[in-house]
Chain A
Amino acid sequence: MVNYGGDEVSALVLDIGTSSVRAGYAGDDTPKAIIPTSYGYIAPSPDADVQMGEALDNQGAEQRQKAQLYLGHSGPSLWRANMEITNPMAEGLIQDFNVTSRLVRHAFEDAMRCTPSEHPVLVTEPAWNTPANRERMAEIMFEEFQVPAFYIANTGVLNTFAAGKGSALVIDVGQTMTSVIPVVDGFVLRKGLAYSPLPKLVYAHARHLLTTTSQTRQAIDLSPHQLIANKLPVEPNAPPQYTLREDRLAGTTQTWRTWAEDREVEEWVQNVAGVLDQGWNDQVAASRSPKQYEFPSGYNTWFGGERFAVGEYFFWHPPHLVNTNQNLPKTIPALIGESLRACEPELRQVLMGNVVLTGGGSLYAGFADRLANEMSRGFPHVKIHAPGNPIERRYGGWLGGSILASLGTFHQLWISKEEWQEHGPAIVGQRCK
């Protein structure tokens, strides 16, 4: 038992990301519950709409609290008349704590069917989380869920632990944020932290690519299957033959439609998109074998070079885009450069020898190879740890938390309820560095 240093106290690990909330028991290798972070709600009464005016924002939050929320797997993905979809996260940080606590309760009680007041809970946070945010999270856990002990750990550090390392340069590509986090001896070097909302740009580009008519094909209708009454099989690249569900169109909100279409884009990206490992080259892109993909409308075609154009945005921005857009999110090589410049020169070689690639956004075919090529241009000895198992890659932060919270030596670090009551929120900043 002491051999591997583990001592399981049936702690819960909670990892809240933009795309999903992961919850499970410490010591497991996969989270027990993975539920979407986006949720649906229906505004309570039509008369509230009348009052909506200048105080829309304040009321919006209030309304959402009163409203019926639709969470989990049968939440946003089920079509409901007038259901709006929203996400409590913004730039990787929790904005709406009320809904977050609902989501967490759903994950713990409905999905995992456990009582949070019986388990210590380890929560993850992004490296750029604010002190106020983590204190709020601690407050929710202690006051609302009555947990006996709480700890909040950084996803960068947890990813480092999940890779079995103490020091690493973590490159985390999520759904909305890409971050480069230098970790030394289990601590994040805050000065070396670099992040940008790069994946947003990539998805926007993918969506743009699909919904515009190109030389080889027409614009694609991204209508989700919830809105399609029937369809007929068609030849590749032939116009789709389908009918929309007219009865639902009226009740479909704009946010739901956007959310559903984004999911179609995401699905397409996950199935088809890739990255050229040696940098962009039209000939190489054309020479790669095309992949077929069918959309809910029944439209299907072979995607050749354009499937590689999507991932290219992670590494390089075309000049016309740079010229027209000043606030373009930084590319991954730029983020790495920025991060390393802020680190001690002695540390750079250590970090480059321990690069950890993580996050579901990094699952493009060829992503790790491309990253290795980009990095080895500036540094001779780059070693990238990129788990091949998609679960490990996507939920690296959760996995690290699962490892950390099941270690015997870790149990002295929990913030107990007693300490919380004695010291108040300040204890969070003191204990969780």
Chain B
Amino acid sequence: MAASAADVRSALSIPTPVAGPSQLKKHPSQSSRKPEGISRELYSLIGPSAPSLAAQLAKPRLKQKPNLGGGGKVKWEWRKFKNQARTDSLELSHWVKASTDADTEYAFAKYNLQPPIYSWSEDEYTRLLQGMSTTDAFSENLTWYVIHDRYEFKGGPSRELEDLKDRYYSICRKLVRNRPWHADDASKNQLMASFNFDKEREQVRKKYIANLESRTPEQVQEEEALYLEIKRLEQNERKFKKDREELLRTLAGVDSGLPDIVEDEATFFTIDPKLQKKKSRGFDAESSLLPSIKRAPVVKDPADDAKHCIIRTELSATTPATKAAHTPAFMRSFKLPYPKAAIAPRVTQVLTELGISPSRLVMPTRDNCQRLETLMDEATTLIELKKAVDKSIQDIEVLKARLDIRGNELEETVQTQNLDGDMDMEERGTIEPEGEDGRAQSVVSTRSARSRRQSRRSLSVSSVDTTAASSARPPIKRQKRV
């Protein structure tokens, strides 16, 4: 649907341009050669005024093709070859490059390896091997399963794989021992060792494998279940141990100083057959597997306690011996009483002045703990006392100030007898003498109560020294307003 330039021209009745000046100009530019390394589209856009850049625009090049040798055709020929691994003159043919040498050894001949097989002479046989019921039917290669499979000695006894192996290796050992050996003894011993064969052990091993395979599916399942259970118990134990250690570490700082708790791993790893048999008969696995947790009953001997510095804390007789009432083991230093939160910083301050850190005792023995406890108690008492003293002093000051005011007021009242009627209640209350009317009195009482409370609060917040001044100030301020 796109209208071409010609359509637009015809629609607007513009005459089609005949070779205009612009086109005339184009001709020479087209005739000029496009420089190398610049694309045709680009050249038609920028024209012959090719920038100096064009010189640098190299034509994109493909990666050079790899030279795979020769480049030319490879001539192959169907050639006969002899296999050196063969003893006969069979000549087979295969395709080879014509360039290869015809006399080279067959590439696969080198894989023809013969395992060293011992054979024996007649003399050796009569001297060493007679009476061993030897046959030389087997000694061809050492794929024992196949040897055993093919072993059929007519009239001879049927032999197990182990019999064959044992026979072969014992003969080899005997031959090595009795033949003249040219190399050193070490290599001889090594060779002898390689011919070692423990028939009994192999038979036991085979029997074991057979047993393993003859298990019924139920047995296999049960064994698997037992194995899983053991794994689970083991994991629980490990988790428990880890938790315990972590707890100790958090309680006693970086290094608990306690030796690692040795868990009874033996009970989990050595599955003694008795235990297993018991379980397989359907006994409760839990009861038999869990190590005995119950300890021997504690013997309380005062002499022994003293010797080992054991201090017993007796449970009160009223406490029921339930699990909830049980007190777990704890660190003595953790049971130190904390001062009341309100005065704690000041207690700390006092202790710091004395050069004692209350948070951590270097040696939290029983005596030290007790001492610290008394010290803290005394510090608390001291601070409370000081607080009471401060408060009394302040009260005295307030009262004194009030007394002064009252003295002044008394004088003023005498001077100005008549008072404005619109005086507000509060001011009147403070100014008017006590007991003028019931309402005023009540106001005063509330007022005093509030001021007292305020002073107490400020006391608790500010330091000991400043309390007196700050608590004394507000009433004064109020009075200034008057």
In contact, B146 and A185 (Cβ under 8 angstroms):
yes
Instruction: Please choose the segment from A6-14, A209-217, A287-295, A305-313 that sits at the chain B interface, where 4 or more of its residues have CB less than 8 A away.
Output: A6-14
Chain A residues near B18: list those with CB within 8 A: none
Q: Is B85 part of the contact surface with A, judged by Cβ < 8 Å?
A: yes
In contact, B146 and A184 (Cβ under 8 angstroms):
yes
Given contacts A185-B143, A348-B213, A412-B83, contact A192 B107 (CB under 8 A): no
In contact, B92 and A377 (Cβ under 8 angstroms):
no
Q: Is B88 part of the contact surface with A, judged by Cβ < 8 Å?
A: yes
Given contacts A189-B146, A192-B149, contact A345 B213 (CB under 8 A): yes
Q: Is B330 part of the contact surface with A, judged by Cβ < 8 Å?
A: no
Chain A residues near B60: list those with CB within 8 A: none
In contact, A345 and B210 (Cβ under 8 angstroms):
yes
In contact, A344 and B90 (Cβ under 8 angstroms):
no
The 8 Å CB contact of B93, one of A9, A347, A348, A380, is A9
The 8 Å CB contact of B86, one of A2, A408, A412, A422, is A412
Q: Is B217 part of the contact surface with A, judged by Cβ < 8 Å?
A: yes
Known A-B contacts: A185-B143, A346-B206, A346-B209. Give 10 more (CB < 8 A).
A9-B92, A149-B92, A187-B149, A189-B146, A344-B161, A408-B107, A409-B112, A411-B108, A412-B108, A419-B90
Size band of the interface chain B makes with A: 20 to 34
How far, in Å, is A270 (CB) from chain B's closest CB?
36
Across the two chains, which residue of chain A brings its CB closest to B112?
Answer: A412
Q: Is B480 part of the contact surface with A, judged by Cβ < 8 Å?
A: no
How far, in Å, is A1 (CB) from chain B's closest CB?
8
In contact, A412 and B109 (Cβ under 8 angstroms):
yes
Q: Is A414 part of the contact surface with B, judged by Cβ < 8 Å?
A: yes
Q: Which of B67-118 contact A (CB under 8 A)?
A: 83, 85-86, 88-90, 92-95, 106-109, 111-112
Q: Is B150 part of the contact surface with A, judged by Cβ < 8 Å?
A: yes
Chain B residues near A190: list those with CB within 8 A: 149-150
Chain A residues near B206: list those with CB within 8 A: 344-346
A265 to B143, CA, bound (A): 45
A148 to B92, CA, bound (A): 8
In contact, A149 and B90 (Cβ under 8 angstroms):
yes
A192 to B149, CA, bound (A): 8
Q: Is A390 part of the contact surface with B, judged by Cβ < 8 Å?
A: no
What 1/0 mask marks residues of chain A from 3 to 43 whose CB sits below 8 Å from any chain B CB? 00101111000000000000000000000000000000000
What 1/0 mask marks residues of chain A from 344 to 381 whose CB sits below 8 Å from any chain B CB? 11111000000000000000000000000000010010
A residues at B contact (CB < 8 Å): 1-2, 5, 7-10, 120, 148-149, 184-185, 187, 189-192, 344-348, 377, 380, 407-409, 411-412, 414, 416-419, 422, 433
Chain A residues near B109: list those with CB within 8 A: 412
Q: Is B145 part of the contact surface with A, judged by Cβ < 8 Å?
A: yes
Chain A residues near B111: list those with CB within 8 A: 409
Q: Is B148 part of the contact surface with A, judged by Cβ < 8 Å?
A: yes
Chain A residues near B217: list those with CB within 8 A: 377
What 1/0 mask marks residues of chain B from 102 to 136 whose CB sits below 8 Å from any chain A CB? 00001111011000000000000000000000000
Chain A residues near B149: list those with CB within 8 A: 187, 189-192
How far, in Å, is A354 (CB) from chain B's closest CB?
14
Across the two chains, which residue of chain A brings its CB closest to B91?
Answer: A148
What 1/0 mask marks residues of chain B from 253 to 272 whose CB sits below 8 Å from any chain A CB? 00000000000000000000
List, sorted by A's number, 13 A–B pairs whose CB atoms are closer than 8 Å.
A2-B107, A10-B93, A185-B145, A187-B145, A189-B145, A190-B149, A191-B149, A344-B148, A345-B213, A407-B108, A412-B109, A422-B88, A433-B150
Chain A residues near B88: list those with CB within 8 A: 416, 418-419, 422
The 8 Å CB contact of A7, one of B107, B112, B220, is B107
A183 to B88, CA, bound (A): 30
Q: Which of B201-255 contact A (CB under 8 A)?
A: 206, 209-210, 213, 217, 220
Chain B residues near A416: list those with CB within 8 A: 86, 88-90
The 8 Å CB contact of A418, one of B83, B90, B213, is B90
Chain B residues near A348: list those with CB within 8 A: 213
A187 to B150, CA, bound (A): 10
A75 to B112, CA, bound (A): 46
The 8 Å CB contact of B90, one of A1, A5, A184, A414, is A414
